[in-house]
Amino acid sequence: MVFFSRVSSPKLCGSVVIIARKQQQCVITVGQRSISGKVMRQGLPPVQKPAPFPYKEKRYNFLRALFDPTTSRLDENSKLIVVEGPPAAGKRALAKELAEELDMAYFPSPNVADCYINKYGYDLRQVDHKLPESCKSYDENDFLKDPLRGNGSKAARFQLTKLSLRYKLHLEALAHILNTGQGVVMDRSPFSDLAYMTAMTETGVISKNVYNFYHQVRNNSLFALWRPHLVIYLDVPVDETRRRIEARNLPNEKDSMLTTPAYLQALVDSYKKDYLKDISTHAEVLVYDWSKVADPEIVVEDIERIDFDQYTVYDEKMKDWRRTNEWDWNNSRQEFTHSQHYLMAHLNVPPIQCNEILISAGDNKVRVGIMDETPGCKFAKGFNPEMGDKGILFKLS
């Protein structure tokens, strides 16, 4: 783990900063391949490589793999970077600026609220009054407003839905990198959800039983994902986090039990003791004191100094991004691009001993009946005549 403190005062952990910076000087060698920003690339001839493969329109199959090897598009900037930190730390702003400076794609964190808008643009929350309590919508605002709703069952299902959305976004990020060669910057990843679940358990939002079930889901699913190359953690003191939360004054956030000093402290502790410790065995980690927002250009300079190619096949670091041969790369590319539904199935762990998140058969039967009557929900998109879909009889997919 590499700590940088020059963006502001080394409040995080003074002696560790000095030691880590000495270690960093020993392993980073000038001339090795590393991520390069726009300034560093100015004046250099463009790298000749194939155009991005249109993976959302065309299928990458065996025949295409014969003439389109995956590694032909990959270069030093074909990396996955994740920006982490407590609420209101500035993760999204920094991730966007890094993506712009490093010529990477920015993948914003997904929202549960978006799931309630179907593919025809109909807001499913409009039928909440017809649904049983266990089946009513529960988005980010509801989570902040009443995390104990349904004795915490709503919050438990909400967090599992969040994990599912982040899992899918991570798969899409991997598919994007392998098909286009362009790196991806994200704010938050499914690997860091553990910190939030730990904080919620310690502050009594969810039960230990739900927490144990979450671990089952996590252990059954995250092994299929490639971990990021680089994690950037923005360290912000709890009192400063509270000040920023109050300043931005989002609905239901300021007075939520999920933004109390006790919860925020538990979150930060879990981030540092669990997540950063675990992810640093694979990824490079940069930790910044972000109590005062610094110039992103400094972060870019620090990223450019990291040598991602220094590790060998015997090292745990970057293990996920080492393949046996070209066909191993091609198979992984095909899997992350076109087999996402199979990988998502790893999240489907039966909650046999976790009754808190279960919806009764009777409630679910009512939900299915109401959804069948909701505009655009009875059949897949393109097969709903009441929504104006035509030529249904002759459609194959």
Residues 147-190: tens digit of each pLDDT: 999 888 999 999 999 999 999 999 999 999 999 999 999 999 99
Could you give the CA distance from residue 5 to residue 284 in angstroms, rounded to a whole number? 16
Residues 364-386: tens digit of each pLDDT: 999 999 999 999 999 999 999 99
Other CB atoms within 10 Å distance of the CB of residue 108: 13
Q: H helices then E strands: how many in the chain?
A: 15, 6
The answer for 358, left when phi > 0, alpha when psi is -120 to 50, beta otherwise, is beta
Average pLDDT over residues 138-152: 93
Residues 182-216: tens digit of each pLDDT: 999 999 999 999 999 999 999 999 999 999 999 99
Residues 90-117: tens digit of each pLDDT: 999 999 999 999 999 999 999 999 999 9
| pLDDT score for 18 | 28
Say whether 243 sits in a helix, a strand or coil.
Answer: helix
Q: How far is CA 158 from CA 78, 132, 143, 311, 322, in A?
A: 32, 17, 8, 39, 34
Give residue 8's pLDDT band: very low, low, confident or very high (50, 70, 90): very low
| pLDDT score for 101 | 95
Please provide the average confidence, as pLDDT, over all residues in the chain.
89
Q: Is the pLDDT of residue 9 over 80?
A: no
Asked if 274 and 215 count as a contact pair (C-beta separation under 8 A), the reply is no
3-class SS shares of the chain: helix, strand, coil, % to 5: 50, 5, 40
Domain boundaries, the chain: 73-380
| pLDDT score for 24 | 38
Give residue 25's pLDDT band: very low, low, confident or very high (50, 70, 90): very low
Question: Cα Rg for the chain, rounded, in angstroms?
Answer: 23
Q: What is the b/e burial string over 271-287, where b = at least 16 CB atoms within 10 angstroms of the residue's CB?
A: bbeebbeebeebbbbbb
Asked if 120 and 387 count as a contact pair (C-beta separation under 8 A), the reply is yes
What letter would DSSP give residue 272? I
290: amino acid identity, one letter: W
Could you give the CA distance from residue 158 to residue 193 in angstroms, rounded to a whole number? 12
Could you give the CA distance from residue 272 to residue 191 in angstroms, rounded to a whole number? 13
Asked if 73 and 180 count as a contact pair (C-beta separation under 8 A), the reply is yes
Could you give the CA distance from residue 336 to residue 334 in angstroms, rounded to a whole number? 6
Residues 32-82: tens digit of each pLDDT: 368 988 888 877 777 788 999 999 999 999 999 999 999 999 999 999 999
Other CB atoms within 10 Å distance of the CB of residue 23: 13
| pLDDT score for 317 | 93
Could you give the CA distance from residue 316 to residue 333 in angstroms, rounded to a whole number? 22
56 alpha carbon, distance to own chain's centre? 20
Residues 6+ apart with CB under 8 A from 60: 53, 68, 179, 330, 333, 334, 337, 338
Residues 245-284: tens digit of each pLDDT: 999 988 899 999 999 999 999 999 999 999 999 999 999 9
Q: What percent of the chain has pLDDT over 90?
A: 80
Other CB atoms within 10 Å distance of the CB of residue 184: 25
Q: Is the pLDDT of residue 330 over 80?
A: yes
Could you give the CA distance from residue 250 to residue 259 in angstroms, rounded to a whole number? 12
Residues 6+ apart with CB under 8 A from 287: 1, 2, 3, 4, 12, 232, 233, 235, 276
Total residue length of the chain: 397
Q: Is the pLDDT of residue 15 over 60?
A: no
What letter would DSSP give residue 382? T
Could you give the CA distance from residue 297 to residue 11 in angstroms, rounded to a whole number? 21
| pLDDT score for 5 | 43
| pLDDT score for 33 | 65
Asked if 2 and 286 count as a contact pair (C-beta separation under 8 A), the reply is yes
pTM exceeding 0.85: yes
- Is 73-380 a CATH 3.40.50.970 domain? no
